Amino acid sequence: MLSKKTKYGIKALAFIAKQPGKIPVQASEIARSENISQKFLESILLELRKSGFLGSKKGKGGGYYLIKEPEEIRMTAIIRVLEGPISMVPCVSLNYYEKCEDCESEETCSVHALMIQVRDSTLKVLGDNTLADLVIEEE
């Protein structure tokens, strides 16, 4: 299950990407438009800024803006930052690998091979889609 945090983060990024020009978008505006708790959204935007997706500008007329082009931002990157691992099990995660306590070996684990298949198919979809694709579909 996708957390609200990730969902809100994606929606916010899409909202910003959708704006004409490169003018900063305020958190309050996004919160209003997308029905998100403003404070909660602020913390998400902050995280997206710290991880290099967004730039920010303080004061009047300030807000958040994309640093890279929407076409360059893969959904895998966004989700990994906000949600964490894409895999359903840590033992098949590429970026957040963790060994299982209960499994003696990954070769004999019946779940392992299956979860690799799921991971790869999900990765394909999320890697093929960029932020630009989300915006296009919206119009």
Binding residues for a second copy, rule: CB under 8 A, are 1-2, 7-8, 10-11, 14-15, 34-36, 75, 85, 88-89, 101-104, 108-111, 113-115, 117-118, 121-122, 124-126, 129, 133-135, 137-138
Closer to a second copy by CB, 30 or 63: give it: 30
Q: How far apart are the first and last CA of the chain?
A: 26
What is the number of alpha carbons within 13 Å of residue 38 lying toward its C-beta? Answer: 6
Closer to DNA by CB, 79 or 130: give it: 79
CB of 127 to DNA, least distance (A): 22
| 68 binding DNA? (CB under 7 A) | no
Residue 104 interacting partner from DNA, a second copy, none (CB closer than 5 to 8 Å by kind): a second copy
| 96 binding DNA? (CB under 7 A) | no
d(C-alpha 135, C-alpha 117), whole Å? 29
- The only residue of 20, 21, 22, 58 in contact with DNA, by rule CB under 7 A: 58
Tokens at residue 87, please? 């895999």
